[in-house]
Structure 1
């Protein structure tokens, strides 16, 4: 029976239809709190995908293991397989940030192990509003102020947020009306966490969530317009050996924000980074490029030459990339290498071997060639597949022009 229009079920199921309608298997990031518990029940009622659930136990306070176990019992009551993912913290630094990164990594590994198409996250309209205000306090640009995306790829997994248009209070009312309980996390009362202080301030000010949501939509439309303009300015872009060439006249003629977007997307294209670099170093790099000077940023060399802005991998950065083995081998976040034999590994070629490889015949610059993958066994170079054909071995860039264009629209 279809849910009535306007109800929590109808809105959540419509979002799931749009985001996950063609996906056969979905994971649920289940903390046991009200948001993720509602998400689990709503996804189960949607009924269009096989579901699994996982709970990350950060082990940061007494009772967390019991809460993870109770979350598992709640999933089992719906016939949903559940797994607890423990985290053992190492080092210091920002606790909330470290826990967030660990949660994402653990859930992504879990999703890969079980072949899940995507992982559902229980972020709500309240989380959107909190994120907007937190980013305002940090001086974020337009992309940051647009809030969280309902669809995002990170850590090799697809993440979906179908509840972003539904408030936390609506979800708890929905659960209460059905006699469904949830776990209240005591850390949500800790005033030493910035987000919790902000949440309490929002409640005290009685900020209107629908109006904040409308502001997010308005900002999102402005972002999409800029992304479209940036894509137009990038017409004629070329890619080779994992690098990117942008037409220089269109780049220099574009407004400052469009140049920034093109450079940021280009940096991420070359490196595969999941997040854009900070604004200040990007602005400095743009100023240098406008003067015709070469810059290095985020492990990428950017230089203008013969009507093009060339973005290539910095050889020193490729030399720092960890060696990898296996078949296929994914190296430096940039290359997929197939055909490796046991004992062989992929590492950067580097400058030293180039003189004996006829690198000029490849059409690549010396730095481009040095940053390409080499096939090594111990200290012996066995093959340089981009410079000389190597029987049975192939190296393919992980990204091409379609991925670059997509990066202009996704931040």
Structure 2
């Protein structure tokens, strides 16, 4: 077996060839820290005619952040790369600030990448990030999915994310930068032990743990996760998709181990709702226990009904009623609507309007009919196209069998 090249840049270029070799364009997220600055420099050298763009998310959490974003912009333009500073407009301070900041960063970068028609966005995660994440999640008692290594690529928030530096350590990258007199920004928050990741980073150093060995352990757990995903995919082979609902064969589901049932339910709920994240583990376990007892249950906006030899997952009517009305073309992150006329909008049909459309003739269960998209003009019901055809109005689900299989295998 050939040993990987000692030069970290060579390993990153090889990963870029593998992950993005056929992409005509690529975005790079650059904070100004050593990892992302090295990534930007290496991608600039690797680009070979590809369209490369750089973005920095300014979370506004430190007084220096605006100036640091400008500094990144200057470095990017010196390499001939266009740069955008994306400002996070915080609406609330409640909850986990770091989690809110992470989600905001991904959403801002995704919107920027889609506006600029970029094929993917490269992130500067390293082997050190793998090791730190593993230890953080061990401390929280995470399951296989939480402990598994970050993957080299994933699709989320409407864009593909690439991590070409997972095989490289943080110290290697800084040595590479120093050898070329390339400056980077040291974030003072990296010294603050009130942040969990910094406490874990310091603990790893204090115990003398091997970063590469921890990253390998996360990779091994990732292989176990992939095997479980394959088992779940086999258990879901008899799934039926009909009118925006998902129907699972009950026997393979019930006979599968608890972890496989959990994976199928997570995939099913995310398929129904379009959520970026799975339901919380405690609510998920409650739902599984209720299903084992033959009860129907709601979970994160999905309605789950075991009946006979099937398990039916559909949109919870109350969640559909809470969805914002839309003038098209998309509604409830579930449906695409065409044929709307001026002044018309889409909202849930609702239980009170069922009698107006004689829903029983549609063949849909009552709750599915109530959660279905209806066309309204002011407060007047115009049509319920899923229950009864109403040309030129047309509704079609955003997700089909391919998306469900992808969610079953999702990392």
Q: Aligned-pair RMSD on alpha carbons?
A: 1.5
The residue aligned with 1:56 is 57
Q: Which residue of 2 aligns with 1:68?
A: 69
Matching residue of 2:296:
294
1:214 aligned counterpart, secondary structure: helix
Counterparts of 2:222 and 2:362 in 1: how far apart (Å)?
43
Paired with 2:343 and 2:143, the residues of 1 have a C-alpha distance of 47
Question: Matched residues in 1 for 2:98 and 2:312: separation?
Answer: 38
Per the alignment, in what secondary structure is the counterpart of residue 184 of structure 1? coil
Aligned to 1:44: 44
> What does the per-residue CA deviation read over 1:28-86, in whole Å, with 9 as the maximum and x for residues that have no partner?
11111111111111111211531111111122222211111000000001110001111
Instruction: Tell me how far 1:6 sits from its aligned partner.
Output: 4.2
Could you tell me how far 1:202 is from its partner in structure 2? 1.3
Q: CA deviation at 1:344?
A: 2.0
Per the alignment, residue 88 of structure 1 pairs with 89
Match of residue 383 from structure 2: 383
How big is the shift at 1:358? Answer: 3.2
Aligned length in residues: 406
How far is 1:390 from its partner? 2.1
Is the 1:337–1:394 Cα contact (8 Å) retained in structure 2?
A: yes
Q: Which residue of 1 aligns with 2:263?
A: 261
**Residues 241 and 372 in structure 1, CA contact (< 8 A), matched pair in contact too:** no
**Secondary structure, in 3 states, of the residue corresponding to 2:321?**
helix
SS at match of 1:352: coil
Asked if 1:358 is matched to 2:358, the reply is yes
- Aligned partner of residue 399 in structure 2, secondary structure: coil
Which residue number in structure 1 is paired with residue 337 of structure 2? 337
Normalization by structure 2: what TM-score? 0.95
Unaligned runs of 5+ in 1: none
Residue 132 (str. 1) matches residue 128 (str. 2): no
Alignment of 1:2-401 (within 5 A): 5-48=5-48, 49-93=50-94, 94-326=96-328, 329-401=329-401
User: Which consecutive residues of structure 2, in runs of 5 or more, have no partner in the other structure?
Assistant: none
Tell me by how many angstroms 1:147 deviates.
3.0
Q: Distance in 2 between matches of 1:117 and 1:393?
A: 33
Judging changes above 3 Å, is the alpha-carbon distance between structure 1 residues 293 and 136 closer, same or farther for their aligned structure 2 residues?
same
Instruction: Give 1:365 shift.
Output: 0.7
Query: What secondary structure does 1:285 align onto?
Result: helix
Measure how far apart 1:239 and its partner are. 0.7
Deviations 1:380-402 (A, max 9, x none): 22221111222222211111111
